[in-house]
Amino acid sequence: MTSNNIQLDNNGRLKHFLTTEGLNKNLLLNILDHAESFAGVGDRAVKKVPLLRGKTIVNLFFEPSTRTRTTFELAAKRLSADVLNINIAQSATSKGESLQDTLRTLEAMHCDMFVVRHGSSGAAHFMAKHVSPRIRIINAGDGNHAHPTQAMLDMFTIRHHKKDFSRLKVAIVGDIMHSRVARSEIHALTTLGVNEVRVIAPLTLLPARVETLGVHVFHELEAGLEDVDVVIMLRLQRERMRSALLPSEQEYFHNYGLTEKRLQVAKDDAIVMHPGPINRGVEIDTHVADGERSVILQQVSHGIAVRMAVMAMSMGSLVDKQEEKT
């Protein structure tokens, strides 16, 4: 069996994890099932399993993200891997070295996996195409393109609370146009077979022809939230205000901010999610963010298990290949 998907090896197993787009339902469910098996590791006296002992994982973050980098580091350490955090602000790339030269330098140190966050869309794909066959690449967010592990930890959280994807109506609210999280979640949700995916945003924050992704578009928050099971709020980046895509934070909250009153039109057992960090009083009211329907902190905890699963699975085919040679 061969695959044209750069993310898969010749046996159809996960090699790199760059995007949720193009992966089949069984593989996404396999990631969730593996994450389930890791979910209890954090509760043990010794919070480690030996799956990646002797492997070196590099966190290569060209953009700051304390939450994502920290959960990847914890995930790698719980798999017993050695972890190297590269400070990009002080690295050779900030002095003019090309991304490809940086890769070659790190490869020479016999690293096994790069967890990459980059401001340019497609950076993770570029790295996957140019690294040695023994290296694995995990995309921790690239430009406006994809954030696949965030999408999968959200899928894990949804399944934990709702069990059956096929019955669900899910609403994603906010800056759909610039959100790598939204893109990755739409692909994951549709692949997993949810009943309906809705996007709710002003026209200025919606990509052209977004309907072709299989979503229903709403411009009014209350209409879009009616009878939904899951509400995913997106972070509104303040630079959108300066670029005149929106008039002000106050105006945005007035029209699209999630309040307890607006949440009443969703199902009684609807859950509220947010990839973080939260802008309280801009995209979500504090009472909702801290309320009984919020699962935002659970998302953070689930992120460790999901990232453990992705790293273990992508390294698994390489470990199996090495064992065959011995």
> Which domains does the chain show, CATH number per domain?
25-145+301-320 (3.40.50.1370), 148-299 (3.40.50.1370)
120: left (phi over 0), alpha (psi -120 to 50) or beta: beta
Structure tokens at 93: 């790339």
124/139 Cα distance (integer angstroms): 6
3 state DSSP class of 71: helix
How far is it, in rounded angstroms, from Cα 230 to Cα 293?
10
Read off the pLDDT of residues 219-240 as tens digits, 9 standing for 90 and up.
Answer: 999 999 999 999 999 998 765 5
Query: Strand order in 82-87's β-sheet?
Result: 82-87, 56-61, 113-118, 136-142
Specify whether the CB–CB gap between 15 and 136 falls below 8 A: yes
Cα separation, 223 vs 260, in Å, equals 15
Q: Which two tokens stand for residue 164?
A: 């059956």
**Strand blocks (E) in the chain:** 56-61, 82-87, 113-118, 136-142, 169-173, 196-200, 216-218, 230-233, 271-273
From first to last of the 326 residues of the chain, give the pLDDT tens digit. Answer: 345 689 999 899 999 999 999 999 999 999 999 999 999 887 888 889 999 999 999 999 888 788 899 999 999 999 999 999 886 755 545 555 677 777 788 888 889 999 999 888 999 999 999 999 999 999 999 988 999 999 999 999 999 999 999 999 999 999 999 899 999 999 999 999 999 999 999 998 999 899 999 999 999 999 999 999 999 999 987 655 555 567 678 888 999 999 999 999 999 999 999 998 888 999 999 999 999 999 999 999 999 999 999 999 999 855 444 444 43
What pLDDT is stored for residue 19 in this prediction?
Answer: 97
Dist CA 33 CA 182 (whole Å): 23
Burial of residue 52, with CB atoms counted within 10 A of its CB: 0-12 exposed, 13-18 middle, 19 or more buried: buried
Neighbours of 244 (CB within 10 A): 8
301 to 71, 129, 138, 150: CA distances (angstroms): 8, 31, 19, 12
pLDDT of residue 100: 77
pLDDT of residue 243: 59
Can you give the pLDDT at residue 38? 95
Q: What are the two backbone dihedrals, phi and then psi, of residue 82, each rounded to the nearest 5 degrees?
A: -85, 140
- The reported pLDDT for the residue numbered 321 is 43
